[in-house]
């Protein structure tokens, strides 16, 4: 079995600490070794093993480059990549009710797979090694993920208000059963849409089913300020109170947004619940400043991008950059949201997913990036975190490795990008030709 020796790279760990140069050895999809004494072909070392590169191994010179864990996009709707730019300058009300949901009502499985494939290509280019998705026709997303090599945690979207929740749950359970154990790169969970499209009873039913299936859940909560008041009026509880009482926090839970989380709701967040903030969506849809600015460093904030119909891009770096910049601006404090904190927020998504990724250590899955920061946009590198968070773009992601396999090499995606874009183009034409349908959903 061929081993890969990434030789003489400086390493950035998940705390943002830099060390090295070191050599990282990949074997059978895992990091077999990370150390500074091996891989030079002369000095054997290691706990009972040597790591001389043999004739069938490959050395990848990394002098002057940086290795870090991959990036996680903890909340997205990958198929919506196909709607990028279709509903611009629209209020959330118009965006949902007059544009996106009517178009989505006519969406077909092929559109979902084409949009997801294009999203995966974009995410790989941006250094994403794992993402948490939330959409319908989830079987087609599983297929795209399986074929393209990325990791993903996929939640079939469940809309309580448009039909029988039990039949939707049965469909999701069948899909989970079908994919269980089929790929170490794919996990599934339930995706109740939100407390404003699912009743408290629907959410409790989802929590029960998640417990029975031994899976987690992924939901939207409080992306808009008005949702809190509307929920209080309709149910006498805030959206996060409803989620808390439903039992959904008793299973591993990803919450998209919680952007307007009230102070009193913070204590409801249980261990195992992770909040994915998607800064660009809030800015673009005019959702207002939110309440994340006072949260302490140990609050389980992570980074998502939301779908590209609202954020027009799937880069976690862009999202964390905006979070840091707006955080300093809102707090009127340049020392707020320091780089190490932003990096920890970026890396925390690994903990929210069940893949065991995020660590550059022997035995961990070989999911990592090799950054080339010797480029005009990022050089000189006095501070690698500043170069990555405030200056980098996808060209700085030189190599991307997932499950021990190159996804991007020497700055080039190892995919047929042209075919992926052409397929998405054909589906986009079909979407416009079919036009908008009637959606029974109401934002
Ligand atoms: Zn979302």
Cα(75) to centroid(ligand 1), Å: 6
pLDDT tens digit sequence for 161-210: 766 899 999 999 999 999 988 999 999 999 999 999 999 999 999 999 99
Model confidence, pTM: 0.96
Cα 214 to Cα 113, 177, 414, distances in angstroms: 27, 11, 35
Q: What is the pLDDT of residue 438?
A: 80
Instruction: Write the pLDDT tens digit of every residue in 315-357.
Output: 999 999 999 999 999 999 999 999 999 999 999 999 999 999 9
65 touches 17 (CB < 8 A): no
Report H helices in 105-225.
109-125, 138-148, 165-179, 200-213
Helices (H), 38-108: 92-94, 101-104
Query: What's the whole-number mean pLDDT along residues 5-13?
Result: 96
Look at residue 399 and give its three-state secondary structure: strand
CA of 321 to the centre of ligand 1 (A): 19
**Which residue from 195, 127, 214 is spatially nearest to 393, judged by alpha carbons?**
127
CA of 250 to the centre of ligand 1 (A): 21
**Cα 24 to Cα 264: distance, rounded to the nearest angstrom:** 45
* Cα distances (Å, whole numbers) of residue 427 to 22, 82, 119, 139, 245: 46, 8, 14, 18, 41
The owner of tokens 């959206």 is 239
pLDDT at 47 over 60: no
Three-state secondary structure call for residue 215: coil
Distance 31 CA to ligand 1 centre (A): 33
The CA distance from 203 to 100, in Å, is 24
> Cα(412) to centroid of ligand 1, in Å?
29
29: CA distance to ligand 1 center in Å? 31
For residue 17, the CA-to-ligand 1 centroid distance in Å is 32
Which H or E run contains 129?
strand 128-135
- What's the 395 CA to ligand 1 centre distance in angstroms? 27
CB atoms inside a 10 Å sphere around CB 258: 30
Q: Find where tokens 């003489």 sit.
A: 8
Residue 310 Cα to ligand 1 middle (Å): 9
Q: Residue 22's beta-bridge partner residues?
A: 9
pLDDT for position 316: 98
Residue 164 CA, ligand 1 centroid: distance in Å: 22
For the record, the structure tokens of 177 come out as: 């059963």
Ligand 1 center–CA 386 separation, angstroms:
28
* Fold match, 4-69+358-413 / 71-352: no
CATH 2.30.40.10 is the classification of domain 4-69+358-413 = yes
CA of 377 to the centre of ligand 1 (A): 31
Q: If you measure from the C-alpha of residue 13 to the centroid of ligand 1, how many angstroms do you get, rounded to a whole number?
A: 29
Q: How many whole angstroms from 276 Cα to the centroid of ligand 1?
A: 9
Helix (H), strand (E) at residue 326? helix 316-331
- What's the mean per-residue pLDDT of the chain? 93
Q: What Rg do the C-alpha atoms of the chain give, in angstroms?
A: 22
Q: What is the pLDDT of residues 235-256, one digit of tens each?
A: 999 999 999 999 999 999 999 9
- Centre of ligand 1 to C-alpha 246, Å, is 20
Long-range pairs of 166-172 with CB within 8 A, sequence gap ≥ 24: 166/205, 169/205, 169/206, 169/209, 172/138, 172/209
β-pairing, 18-27 vs 4-12, is antiparallel
What are residue 398's phi and psi, to 5 degrees? -75, -50
pLDDT of 126 higher than 60: yes
pLDDT score recorded for residue 402: 98
pLDDT exceeds cutoff 60 at 38: no
What DSSP character marks residue 70? P
CB 179 within 8 A of CB 188: yes
Residue 356 C-alpha to ligand 1 middle, in angstroms? 24
Topology annotation, domain 71-352: TIM Barrel (3.20.20)
Q: How far is the CA of 84 from the centre of ligand 1 (A)?
A: 14
Q: Phi and psi dihedrals of 363, rounded to 5?
A: 100, -20
- How far does residue 294's CA lie from ligand 1's centre (Å)? 23
Q: What's the rounded mean pLDDT across residues 89-107?
A: 90
Q: Measured in angstroms, how far is the CA atom of residue 222 from the centroid of ligand 1?
A: 11
Residue-level pLDDT at 224? 86
Q: Is 60 exceeded by the pLDDT of residue 39?
A: no
**pLDDT of 40 above 80:** no
Tell me if 36 sits within 8 A of 21, measured CB to CB: yes
Q: How far is the CA of 199 from the centre of ligand 1 (A)?
A: 18
Task: Please say whether the beta carbons of 153 and 178 come within 8 A.
Answer: no
Encoded tokens for 90: 């629209």
Angle between helices 138-148 and 109-125 (to 10 degrees): 40
Q: Where are the domains of the chain?
A: 4-69+358-413, 71-352
Quick check: 42 pLDDT over 80? no
């Amino acid at each position: 079995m061929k081993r890969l020796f990434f030789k003489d790279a400086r390493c950035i760990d998940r705390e943002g600490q830099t060390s090295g140069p070191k050599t990282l050895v990949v074997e059978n999809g895992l990091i077999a070794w990370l150390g500074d004494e091996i891989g030079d072909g002369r000095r054997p070392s290691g706990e009972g093993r040597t790591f001389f590169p043999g004739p069938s191994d490959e050395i990848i010179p990394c002098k002057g480059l940086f290795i870090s864990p991959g990036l996680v996009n903890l909340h997205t709707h990958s198929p919506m990549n196909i709607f990028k730019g279709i509903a611009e300058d629209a209020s959330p009300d118009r965006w949902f009710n007059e544009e996106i949901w009517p178009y989505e009502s006519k969406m077909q499985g092929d559109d979902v797979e084409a949009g997801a494939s294009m999203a995966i290509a974009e995410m790989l280019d941006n250094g994403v090694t794992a993402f948490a998705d939330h959409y319908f026709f989830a079987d087609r997303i599983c297929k795209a993920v399986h074929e393209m090599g990325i990791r993903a945690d996929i939640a079939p979207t469940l809309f309580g208000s448009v039909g029988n929740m039990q039949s939707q749950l049965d469909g999701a359970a069948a899909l989970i059963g079908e994919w269980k154990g089929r790929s170490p790169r794919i996990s599934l969970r339930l995706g109740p849409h939100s407390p404003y499209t699912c009743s408290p009873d629907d959410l409790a039913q989802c929590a029960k089913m998640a417990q029975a299936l031994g899976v987690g859940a992924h939901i939207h909560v409080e992306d808009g300020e008005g949702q809190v008041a509307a929920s209080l009026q309709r149910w006498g509880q805030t959206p996060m109170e409803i989620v808390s009482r439903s039992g959904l926090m008793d299973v591993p839970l990803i919450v998209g947004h919680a952007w307007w989380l009230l102070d009193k709701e913070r204590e409801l967040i249980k261990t195992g619940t992770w909040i994915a903030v998607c800064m660009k969506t809030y800015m673009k849809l005019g959702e207002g400043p939110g309440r994340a600015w006072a949260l302490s460093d140990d609050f389980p904030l992570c980074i998502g991008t939301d779908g590209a119909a609202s954020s027009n891009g799937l880069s976690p770096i862009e999202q964390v950059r905006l979070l840091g910049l707006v955080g300093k601006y809102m707090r009127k404090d340049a020392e707020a949201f320091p780089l190490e904190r932003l990096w920890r927020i970026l890396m925390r998504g690994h903990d929210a997913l069940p893949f065991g990724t995020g660590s550059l250590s022997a035995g961990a899955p070989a999911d990592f990036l090799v950054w080339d920061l010797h480029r005009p946009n990022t050089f000189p590198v006095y501070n690698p975190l500043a170069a990555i968070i405030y200056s980098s773009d996808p060209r700085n992601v030189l190599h991307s490795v997932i499950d021990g396999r190159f996804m991007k090499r020497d700055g080039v995606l190892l995919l047929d990008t042209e075919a992926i874009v052409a397929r998405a183009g054909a589906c986009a034409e079909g979407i416009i030709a079919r036009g908008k349908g009637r959606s029974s959903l109401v934002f």
